[in-house]
Structure 1
């Protein structure tokens, strides 16, 4: 596989500095060599740079850094569309606001290819706020709502050429949802699997059920992997820690199932904050998870749960 690595060093979507260092930390943790060791062709395309920030104001005074995020979204969207024409794009965040751009660009590509785009959103949060509903004002909480075409972004974010069908989105590992987001998720028809569902049914059953639908509809699958999908005990390097996340084995099993499906066509890795890490262990874990998704095997077979 031709893996195209591209960084999006964005931290304006959150209120804590450090995510801009995420792409560098993932590279330093050996992402490229890990994928090369699996036999993949790896092309590091450097980092995206945002254009000039527009002059825009929003009536919601809580919103932070709207002009900067609008500029980043436009630049990332164009880059995502461009590099998704061939190969396997891997977008290194940066906070989760980068997915406003990655999803916009990948969705345009899916329309061009005539195939439906599905999204597996691995995160403690659904990031389904609009500019009107966000109370924190942190714009890493809006990308999935924007990409799904929810109202309120026109005139502030770049025009969305190919909105996602929210019924083809599965949020998995959710355990922190605001009331406005919960109502919007239900109305939009997003598939929501919280950690209670993981506890009750097991992560394998939930992932396989979603993959079966992707396969049945001949879809493309974008995976957006947020560090806070994981329990903070194993992945402390994130500014939005929420207890009770996926365990080491649950996360690896999800990646192994995704690899075996041969359906994943693009990937985000987001919210790694190296300033909060413990000797790089979160960065190393994220590299290991990506390696599992892209085929790392033990004893000649895919790794299996103990």
Structure 2
């Protein structure tokens, strides 16, 4: 079984890509099964461009794919791998490397300067595949989850702090609160792309100065960003924001995906609230030369 063909995809290929995604990730380290609506939301949030996605085909069947988001990363035009999958029966043919080789010429022609992705640390096969194409680790990332009924939110809300939906997001002020930078799916660009799906709550004091904020997705419980201005930390602002978010989240659990492990303060706070570590990933990238 070596007669594979590779092609860039079109918008009309997305339903077939979704079905192949389900087959490829059904036995993944962490099984991923997204319905049509969830898959569409993923494509939008992560900036997926069909014309930059690769399909590997055996006869009329899609055997594998690379989902590619396009945008800017650290000031450079970047292609983000939002998922590489190979259907189990077609594994063992180095399709990941072949798809990347096919994709690279398209990226060079388009002026893309960097390829970026995340990979589960325990997924040795995928890690080796990416290293073979020149990917280097740039960060270690942790992912956390907690069921709503297990979340510890006993701290009293601080006095003179009000929480309300953002009328006009203060993107640059939010950025000034960060100790660590978010990964691709949690960047400001990703949040803007999926603005209809997320909620932004702000905490303000009596003078209406911004003290902190939280950005989350009510349907799936994903917390994209949670940050508090340094002088307002350790007095309950984060917990007050989290408590209000829980009231609006429809999913049974909350998730904080891909937290830079250098953010020890953030990770310590999540653990104190009973968030459990569910997996660790590496962020990896390679320059396109």
Q: Over alpha carbons, which structure has the higher Rg?
A: 2
Specify which structure has the higher proportion of helix.
1
| TM-score, L = length of structure 2 | 0.29
More strand by percentage: 2
TM-score between the two structures when normalised by the length of structure 1: 0.28
